[in-house]
């Protein structure tokens, strides 16, 4: 039997009975076959003793039920781990941070409280999925869209609380940044509203973020200060017209002026999310051309940059390709296209083509044809070709993301490629990073230079090796000034350790607050590298007593 850390069987069973009374026996899951559904399907510790399998799961329907759960948990010192829809694959999924902690599954709390397409906001419960919100807006013919992450099955609340990102204009792409107003059940069971929501009867819960006084919303994301039961979000009005351009450039060094120009265009709201990539990469999940692949190790085990560039020029393959969306009315979109073309004329050999253009509303057939559905807030699951369905990636059981933030600068990207390639070379492993690996541009005002480490359901040794390399990458990245923005539970302490300015003052400050607000340490021990006092000394051992 799996038990939470520090909880004996008697107390655990007594708490389970009280949970059943409070929220109905059918919403408390203690049988292994039910609880196992909350395992992290992409766990980098699958089937090891340390794998964070919960002991129990509870699924409340109302705020009052969440409060009752938290109060019972305090009586019996039962650690709770809240999830909204639990689809956080690659960053922990629906499993808790620590083995044995009780999952509070909020997916039954799925009310769309309000969507306003004149003032452009919504207020949601945690269990509402992107698909549900999209369907609601379409059904009611509302002229707003939500900025969404790639897989549409998650929730705006859960995604924002893990600092997730999307694909339209910068201010909407930052999902936590686009939230406005929260309702939270605190670790003692009290209910709090933040921002304008603290004013009884406030009319701008989801419109003005700050209310009055200290801004505390950040304490509830990537952390463990409460269970969020409502959140407001700013939404984007649907544009009248949408065009997708494709910019190509022949030389590796072209990335430097490309980034500078796109930074200007993005920050001026002339273009939306630029999708950087290199056509030297094979199509999704397919193997790389063998000649090109041979140049990745042909210079004493490292890439031969000249041969790679020569291969690209000989085969007339652009070194870079960036897809650029433009929103507006038709006249404005066309004027902006001309302006974008003018800015890139200075790069020798650069070309810009129109890929697609649509007037909104779009027909079902047009939506089907659309290349980047996410850039118009249309949820889908196409991304799931990645890692588990590709033809070449071994093992194929999932991945954990290594996600450091780097400056939005072409030279820094090229340096980053070199540093990553060197780490893999030193460790005697093939490098997943190539001299044509591209930045991810979700972060508004920064790049993320991420890579997915494949994990296995059957090969424990593979996962152990992977964890070693991952940890090395965290250290090397930090030494270069690049810090991860998000991490799977297995690596959250490693990441938090690198944010160490002035003898870890940030962590010490947060943990001091944690001790005050959650003295029993019941909410999500370890999440975001924040441990309650009773297990703080054992953070290296995953918060066991």
Ligand X SMILES: Cc1cc2nc3c(=O)[nH]c(=O)nc-3n(C[C@H](O)[C@H](O)[C@H](O)COP(=O)(O)OP(=O)(O)OC[C@H]3O[C@@H](n4cnc5c(N)ncnc54)[C@H](O)[C@@H]3O)c2cc1C
492 binds ligand X (CB under 6 A): no
Assess contact for 525 and 189: CB atoms under 8 A.
no
Prior bond of 9 cis (ω within 30°): no
Q: What angle do CA 170, 176, 177 make, to 5 degrees?
A: 50
**Helix ranges restricted to H, 227-304:** 255-267, 290-294
Least Å distance, CB 210 to ligand X, is: 21
Kindly tell me which residue out of 4, 60, 92, 239 binds ligand X, with binding defined by CB under 6 A.
92
386 binds ligand X (CB under 6 A): yes
**Separation of alpha carbons 57 and 543, rounded Å:** 20
**Beta carbon nearer to ligand X, 161 or 259:** 161
The piece of 33-41, 45-53, 379-387, 532-540 that touches ligand X (CB under 6 A) is 379-387
102 binds ligand X (CB under 6 A): no
**Separation of alpha carbons 124 and 128, rounded Å:** 7
**Beta carbon nearer to ligand X, 254 or 518:** 518
228 binds ligand X (CB under 6 A): yes
528 binds ligand X (CB under 6 A): no
With contacts defined by CB under 6 A, how many residues of the chain interact with ligand X? Answer: 32
Kindly tell me which residue out of 85, 168, 456, 463 binds ligand X, with binding defined by CB under 6 A.
85
**Beta carbon nearer to ligand X, 61 or 330:** 61
- C-alpha distances (whole Å) from 390 to each of 276, 283, 324, 431, 466 are 20, 10, 26, 18, 19
**Beta carbon nearer to ligand X, 126 or 211:** 126
Neighbour count for residue 34 (Cβ, 10 Å): 12
Residues with Cβ within 8 Å of 320's Cβ and at least 6 positions away in sequence, in order, are 247, 248, 249, 254, 255, 258, 276, 277, 278, 436, 438
Kindly tell me which residue out of 19, 46, 165, 447 binds ligand X, with binding defined by CB under 6 A.
165
89 binds ligand X (CB under 6 A): yes
Question: Are β-strands 399-402 and 451-454 bridged in parallel, bridged antiparallel, or unpaired?
Answer: antiparallel
Site for ligand X in 141-160 (CB under 6 A): 149-151, 154-155, 157-159
162 binds ligand X (CB under 6 A): yes
- Binding track, positions 45-84, relative to ligand X; x by CB under 6 A: -------------------------------------xxx
Q: Which helix or strand (DSSP H or E) is residue 472 part of?
A: helix 460-479
Least Å distance, CB 187 to ligand X, is: 11
Kindly tell me which residue out of 18, 76, 87, 173 binds ligand X, with binding defined by CB under 6 A.
87
End-to-end CA distance of the chain: 18
Place of tokens 């430097």: 256
Residue numbers at the binding site for ligand X (CB under 6 A): 82-92, 106, 126, 149-151, 154-155, 157-159, 161-162, 164-165, 227-228, 383-384, 386, 524, 527
């Amino acid at each position: 039997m799996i038990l939470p850390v520090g909880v004996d069987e008697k107390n655990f069973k007594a708490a389970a009975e009280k949970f059943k009374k409070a929220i109905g026996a059918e919403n408390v899951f203690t049988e292994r076959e039910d609880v196992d559904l909350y395992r992290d399907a992409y766990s980098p510790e699958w089937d090891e003793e340390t794998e964070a399998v919960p002991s129990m799961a509870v699924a409340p329907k109302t705020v009052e039920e969440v409060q009752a759960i938290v109060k019972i948990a305090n009586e019996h010192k039962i650690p709770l781990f809240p999830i909204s829809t639990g689809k956080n694959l690659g960053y922990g999924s629906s499993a808790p941070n620590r083995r044995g902690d009780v999952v509070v599954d909020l997916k039954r709390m799925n009310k769309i409280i309000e969507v306003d397409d004149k003032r452009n906001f919504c207020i949601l419960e945690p269990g509402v999925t992107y698909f549900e919100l999209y369907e609601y807006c379409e059904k009611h013919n509302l002229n707003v869209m939500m900025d969404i992450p790639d897989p549409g099955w998650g929730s705006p609340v859960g995604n924002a609380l893990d600092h997730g990102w999307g694909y339209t204009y910068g201010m909407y792409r930052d999902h936590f940044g686009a939230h406005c107003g929260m309702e939270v059940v605190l670790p003692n069971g009290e209910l709090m509203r933040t921002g304008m929501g603290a004013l009884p009867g406030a009319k701008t819960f989801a419109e003005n973020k700050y209310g009055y006084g200290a801004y505390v919303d950040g304490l509830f994301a990537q952390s463990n200060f409460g269970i969020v039961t409502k959140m407001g979000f700013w939404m984007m009005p649907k544009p009248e017209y949408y065009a997708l351009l494709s910019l190509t450039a022949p030389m590796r060094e072209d990335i430097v002026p490309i980034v500078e120009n796109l930074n200007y265009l993005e920050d001026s709201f002339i273009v939306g999310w630029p999708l950087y990539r290199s056509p030297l990469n094979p199509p999704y999940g397919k193997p790389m051309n063998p000649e090109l692949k041979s140049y990745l190790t042909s210079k004493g085990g490292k890439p031969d940059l000249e041969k790679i560039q020569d291969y690209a020029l000989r085969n007339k393959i652009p070194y870079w390709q960036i897809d650029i969306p433009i929103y507006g009315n038709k006249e404005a979109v066309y004027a902006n296209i001309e302006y974008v073309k003018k800015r890139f004329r200075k790069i020798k050999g650069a070309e810009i083509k129109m890929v697609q253009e649509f007037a909104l509303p779009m027909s079902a057939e047009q939506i089907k044809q659309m290349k980047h559905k996410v850039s118009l807030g249309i949820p889908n699951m196409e991304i799931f070709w990645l890692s588990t369905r590709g033809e070449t990636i071994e093992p194929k059981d999932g991945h954990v993301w290594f996600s450091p933030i780097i400056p939005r600068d072409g030279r820094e990207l090229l340096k980053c490629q070199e540093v990553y390639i060197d780490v893999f070379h030193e460790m005697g492993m093939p490098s997943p990073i190539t001299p044509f690996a591209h930045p991810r541009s979700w972060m508004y005002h920064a790049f993320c230079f991420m890579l997915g480490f494949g994990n296995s359901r059957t090969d424990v040794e593979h996962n152990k090796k992977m964890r070693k390399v991952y940890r090395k990458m965290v250290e090397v990245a930090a030494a270069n000034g690049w810090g991860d923005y998000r991490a799977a539970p297995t690596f959250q302490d490693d990441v938090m350790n690198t944010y160490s300015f002035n003898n870890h003052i940030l962590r010490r400050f947060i943990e001091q607050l944690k001790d005050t607000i959650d003295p029993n340490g019941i909410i999500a021990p370890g999440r975001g590298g924040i441990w309650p006092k009773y297990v703080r000394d054992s953070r290296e051992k995953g918060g066991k007593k």
